[in-house]
Structure 1
Amino acid sequence: MRRAPRDTEASGRRFTRRALFMGGCMTAMVAVLGARMRYLGVEQADQFRLLAEENRINIRLIPPERGLIQDRNGKLIAGNEQNYRVVITREDAGDVGLILNRLSHIIPLTAEDMADILKETKRNSPFVPIPVAERLNWEDFSEIAVNAPALPGVSPEVGLSRVYPRDQDFAHVVGYVGPVSERDLAGIENPDPVLTIPKFQIGKIGVEKFLEDILRGHAGTKRIEVNAVGRVMRELDREEGQPGADVRLTLDADIQNFLQARLGAESAACVLMDVQNGDILSIVSAPSFDPNLFVRGISQADYSGLMNHDHRPLADKTVQGAYPPGSTFKMVTALAALEAGVITPESTVYCPGYLEFGSRRFHCWKHGGHGKVDLERSLMESCDVFYYEVAQKVGIDKIAEMGRRLGMGIRHDLPMSAIAEGNMPTKEWKLERHKAEWRIGDTINSSIGQGYVLASPLQLTVMAARVATGLAIKPRLVKSVNGVEVEISPPESIGLDPGRLRAVQRGMFAVVNGKAGTGRGSRIADDTMLMCGKSGTAQVRNISTAERASGVVSNDQLPWRRRDHALFVGYAPYDNPRYAAAVVVEHGGGGSAVAGPIVRDALLRALYGDIPPLTAYPADQRGRMESLLKDLHLRRPDGTMPESSKV
């Protein structure tokens, strides 16, 4: 049935109104949704971004455990101790200054400390943890952990820190670690990422520095989940790093401690070496310092005290010190003359107490002279004139060549800082260095280890070892790495005629054991351990003609800095050499009186493997030696007195 036109028209009007109504409702809904979306997406963007990132993942480097340094017997020289510390991460902390201020109510933080930390946070990426305090006690450490909700970005951590349990004994040779500096990074072509960790510590001097690559190890990583306020929620996973290699040195901790105590308050150096393989058993510079001070942050007062000390405790005199070797150099001149064929062991020279050359007079140490002397007596009584005469015949270039064959004037390769090359002068060297011709007077001075000749205690020890064996002994300091022995090649001959070498050895034996020997006061009473040696006294001032005429002022009447250096080299046993040693005592006076007894004690300590018994000393010296050895106060790392220090 058809609908009436009027009904159709009414129905259309109702549909249009409903469509318009529905369209209006939909438009309104879209408008409301759009407004809400704008509110959430624009006006509340920061809040919702924070909520979206409430639980985030951070990746952090784990510093590797530094390798241990031990002596030849496995005794700890450098290790790691537990370190309670606290760090702050700028990205998680927000207002770093505010958080540090809160933290200062728990642990002591000065305004200067906080300024340094703020500076450090700005220098590094916002997600890098910056150390705030180290070596916290347990109470402070736990209080920080309890207050973590109020300290966003602050994390208490348990790490490791370097420690030197024998403090002063190995300070110069082992060195110490300290924070990586811009200068350190500038010297590395492709720095390990672990070096960018703020205040990460690396070796600064000595073995710690030169074996840094194997001691450091490789960093690990950890993934942690942190919430919006920077609090660590959990550790998701961890990849452990590779610890550094453990290094065992050739040094003997007990001998090192003995000789450190034996040098006492002197400004001195002592080196003791095994002549069979070049192992350095002890290398001591005195006075020393505590390397732990540098690891923990040395105070200005302590540092100034070390820098201003007249005995220079920060300098390693064993390898950095270059001294005129004095009469210890006479073996070099003698062997050069013997090898050149200008003298024989039986050749003699008359010593009236001086040598006149041109308008100058070169004096012997003995004012009245020694009379007629041969090679053995020239060494035994240390006659200077004998060497003045033979040096003119052999010439400085051959003397310098012999010196280098015996280990002088060359830089020995050891993992130590600023090793001196010393100086073996030649005609060409003087022309190049001083733009002047070499003179005969220069040769005369050099013949007795004065003038331009310079040597370190290490070089003097190598010389003594090579004279003792006739072999090109090379010093070494590293015995093994991670338990793997460092290979050494058998030493080659230095090419000296055995008969001529024995002639010099007999002279060194007479120095200590002959009735007129200059080193007789340092002789050993045990016939199985007799020592060969040579004393030396190096002048540090010029003696005027007027002073010689009126009488040379003795060392003990001079200010300390104007006194002669005392030197002595030796090896033992004389018939089957095992150890060689050299001692330099700065401004100590006579080498035979001051340095000789220390060389003897060093050799005896190595030969006996313990504190030398009194029977090793001449009967008339035993009372004095008993008191001296008792007063050394040798101690274990825990501070107790070991039995070995008791006579």
Structure 2
Amino acid sequence: MRKNARDLELGAKRLTRRSLLLGGVQAVVMGGLALRMRYMQVNQADQFRTLAEENRINVRLIPPVRGLIYDRNGQVLAENEQNYRVVVVREDAGDVEETLAKLAEIIPMDEAARARALKEIMQRSAFVPVTVADRLSWKDFSQVAVNAPSLPGVTPEVGLSRHYPVAEDMAHVVGYVGPVSDYDLSKLENPDPLLQIPRFQIGKSGVEAKLEGDLRGSAGTKRIEVNAQGRVIRELDRAPGLAGTDLQLTIDEGLQNFIKARLGEESAAAVVMDVRNGDLLGIASSPSFDPNKFVRGISSSDYGELTGNKYRPLANKTVQGLYPPGSTFKMVTALAALEAGVISPEETVWCPGHYTTAGRRFHCWRRGGHGQVNLNKSLEQSCDVYYYEVSRRVGIDKIAEMARKLGLGVKHDLPMSAVATGIAPDKAWKVENRQEDWLVGDTLNASIGQGFVLSSPLQLAVMTSRLATGRSVDPRLIKSINGKDQQETEALELDISAEGLRQVRRGMYSVSNSARGTARRSRIVHDTMIMAGKTGTSQVRNITAAERAQGVFRNEDLPWERRDHGLFVCYAPYDDPRIAVSVVVEHGGGGSTAAAPIARDIAVRAMAGDLPPLEAYPKEQRNEIKERLEALPLREPVVPKPGRSRA
């Protein structure tokens, strides 16, 4: 059928609209392509020209700013400081030895330093910048910058480096950082790409190592233009990374400094805990070391001096050192016996100076014995025979159970290196570890903190805190993270009778305050600071029958390594406990003479919040105490310096 004129007109109009729509779409597409081509040819011409010339664009990581570490009062313990350094690129330097020689005329660089620098430069690719000098003074840095035109391949740079302003005080707690090693990388399944950066530093010990992930932060990036030979042409842009987390510890650096000064040159350890929440107010191991030497790269002679020292300055004795707790363990045995109902507080045991069982004689420290001894007197005068008898009645398994309840033989969760578990042995432990049956003699030795029993100063402080409060106080080291206080763990009541705890506390009070207490000379007389404690002396050698017949050698007559360890634990104030203190003096002799005086000074300092007031000491001792306190090498408080923390 033929179409009329009207139909033909309508069809033409539809065709025209479709053509216009299609043409518009084509125009938009072509316009977009044209704009894109213009952008690529004009705006990105340099980048594509670089690619055309066989250059490439690389993305490199920017190390983040490491998080800072503070004490509970805001004093800085670990900071980042500007590090003025000099780097050398071998391909630009030409004669490297000559360049290093010229550099040595401007800044201090002895022959050994130049030899080390040359060795490292030659081991690296020719285009890799190698640090040949760092921690320069501003004067030396400026001299290098001024003379840069005559020093080919030499570039002065400003970076960040870790610094520990309180040095030895916090070395065992905070730890230190150092360059990433192959061993460090071998321990990680998927190492952070940051760790591949030459000389990038990570935590090697202490809090720095245990909380490395928080302190490190995340890397930034920069895009750089690199030629076909791998040499950097220019930086195109950068995106900064995320700084590491700031940490605040529970430690009071002022108290920590006092503890370190009071321990002096002894091979010793001391721990101070807040019994109310478990905060570690002070935790010091002596002697110590300067962690800054490890950051900078410790010399062989310095490292050899540390490892060759018989006092073991690199070891953290507070958590890593394990010692027979000696008579400080007697509270554990007493509580186990009281809870089991095998003895009452007033029941007495006859002490003639020895105890015989299974044909073997076990001696009391007092050769002539203590006579009739009840619980209070056994603690006050530290009678061994009393504990031989009650331990035989209660058995080792219940003693070990009580020890673990009080925090001994338990690994406490702290971000510190090599935290030890200790040993609270029972029958199953000996079978598993020694493949031997438990003997009655093992129980008697354990009852006075000898034999297989081993505890750290930290564990002894936890034990004392739990005795003082009757609660499961756990030690805590991190107070806040990035300014946000960390929640304290609720300390639940221990499954120990209140009467049993009261009797043991009464005995500890007598140790420090009664006329015949083993620590009477180290008592505190200030009404608001009265202390309850327990002395301990742990043997490190066997005393033979022949030696006993001739007379036991005094500690001071023996070589240092064969002397007894001296221990003391205490809490104060007696009627409203705030702090617990443990002190161990390696090979110091008796606990009453070696450890108790130190623990008393530390306890008074912790309660007073400043130098111990003389009013806390017996009148006849005050002149002696005054001279001792005035001679302590205490340091002024260290505070953050403007511009250094986040340089």
TM-score by length of 1: 0.86
What's 2:252 paired with?
A: 252
Q: Is the 8 A contact 2:318 2:456 kept in 1?
A: yes
Counterparts of 2:59 and 2:151 in 1: how far apart (Å)? 20
1:349–1:54 CA distance, 2 compared to 1 (3 A): same
Q: Is the 8 A contact 1:325 1:453 kept in 2?
A: yes
1:468–1:638 CA distance, 2 compared to 1 (3 A): closer
Q: Is the 8 A contact 2:468 2:577 kept in 1?
A: yes
Q: Is the 8 A contact 1:570 1:580 kept in 2?
A: yes
What's 1:94 paired with?
A: 91
Q: Is the 8 A contact 2:94 2:152 kept in 1?
A: no
What's 2:102 paired with?
A: 105
What's 1:421 paired with?
A: 421
Q: Is the 8 A contact 1:106 1:140 kept in 2?
A: no
- The one-letter code of the counterpart of 1:467 is L
Displacement of 1:220: 1.5
Overall identity of the aligned pairs, in %: 62
**Larger RCO (alpha carbons 8 Å, 6+ apart):** 2
- The one-letter code of the counterpart of 2:278 is G
Displacement of 1:593: 1.3
Task: Check if 1:553 corresponds to 2:557.
Answer: no
Counterparts of 2:93 and 2:540 in 1: how far apart (Å)? 59
Displacement of 1:322: 0.3
Q: Is the 8 A contact 2:431 2:438 kept in 1?
A: yes
Q: Which SS does the other structure have where 2:102 is aligned?
A: coil
Cα distance per residue 1:7-40 (max 9 Å; x no partner) = xxxxxxxxxxxxxxxxxxxxxxxxxxxxxxxxxx
Q: Is the 8 A contact 1:67 1:216 kept in 2?
A: yes
Q: Is the 8 A contact 1:152 1:231 kept in 2?
A: no
What's 1:627 paired with?
A: 627
Q: Is the 8 A contact 1:555 1:563 kept in 2?
A: yes
Q: Which SS does the other structure have where 1:85 is aligned?
A: strand
Give the length in aligned residue pairs. 584
Counterparts of 2:535 and 2:251 in 1: how far apart (Å)? 25
Counterparts of 2:243 and 2:101 in 1: how far apart (Å)? 34
What's 1:347 paired with?
A: 347
What's 1:537 paired with?
A: 537
What's 1:114 paired with?
A: 118
Task: Check if 1:173 corresponds to 2:177.
Answer: no
What's 2:360 paired with?
A: 360
What's 1:214 paired with?
A: 214
Structure 2: which 5+ runs fail to align?
A: 1-48, 640-647
Displacement of 1:87: 3.1
Counterparts of 2:234 and 2:180 in 1: how far apart (Å)? 30
What's 2:319 paired with?
A: 319
Displacement of 1:264: 0.2
- The one-letter code of the counterpart of 1:106 is L
Displacement of 1:230: 9.7
Following superposition of structure 1 onto structure 2, how do residues 186-201 of structure 1 map, counting pairs within 5 Å?
186-201=186-201
Q: Which SS does the other structure have where 2:241 is aligned?
A: coil
Displacement of 1:101: 4.1
1:94–1:261 CA distance, 2 compared to 1 (3 A): same
Q: Is the 8 A contact 1:80 1:161 kept in 2?
A: yes
Q: Is the 8 A contact 1:106 1:143 kept in 2?
A: no
Displacement of 1:380: 0.4
Q: Which SS does the other structure have where 1:277 is aligned?
A: coil
Cα distance per residue 1:135-158 (max 9 Å; x no partner) = 233344345445556666554221
- The one-letter code of the counterpart of 2:566 is A
What's 2:606 paired with?
A: 606
What's 1:487 paired with?
A: 487
Task: Check if 1:582 corresponds to 2:586.
Answer: no
Counterparts of 1:519 and 1:139 in 2: how far apart (Å)? 57
1:313–1:492 CA distance, 2 compared to 1 (3 A): same
Q: Is the 8 A contact 2:306 2:313 kept in 1?
A: yes
- The one-letter code of the counterpart of 1:314 is L
What's 2:618 paired with?
A: 618
What's 1:462 paired with?
A: 462
Counterparts of 2:638 and 2:577 in 1: how far apart (Å)? 35
What's 1:526 paired with?
A: 526
Does 51-60 or 249-258 show the bigger shift?
Answer: 51-60
- The one-letter code of the counterpart of 2:239 is E
Q: Is the 8 A contact 1:154 1:231 kept in 2?
A: no
Cα distance per residue 1:202-246 (max 9 Å; x no partner) = 100000000111111112123356899999776442211111111
Counterparts of 1:600 and 1:471 in 2: how far apart (Å)? 24
What's 2:14 paired with?
A: none
Displacement of 1:487: 1.1
Counterparts of 1:106 and 1:228 in 2: how far apart (Å)? 30
Q: Which SS does the other structure have where 1:60 is aligned?
A: strand
Displacement of 1:130: 3.5
What RMSD, in angstroms, separates the aligned Cα atoms of the two structures?
2.3
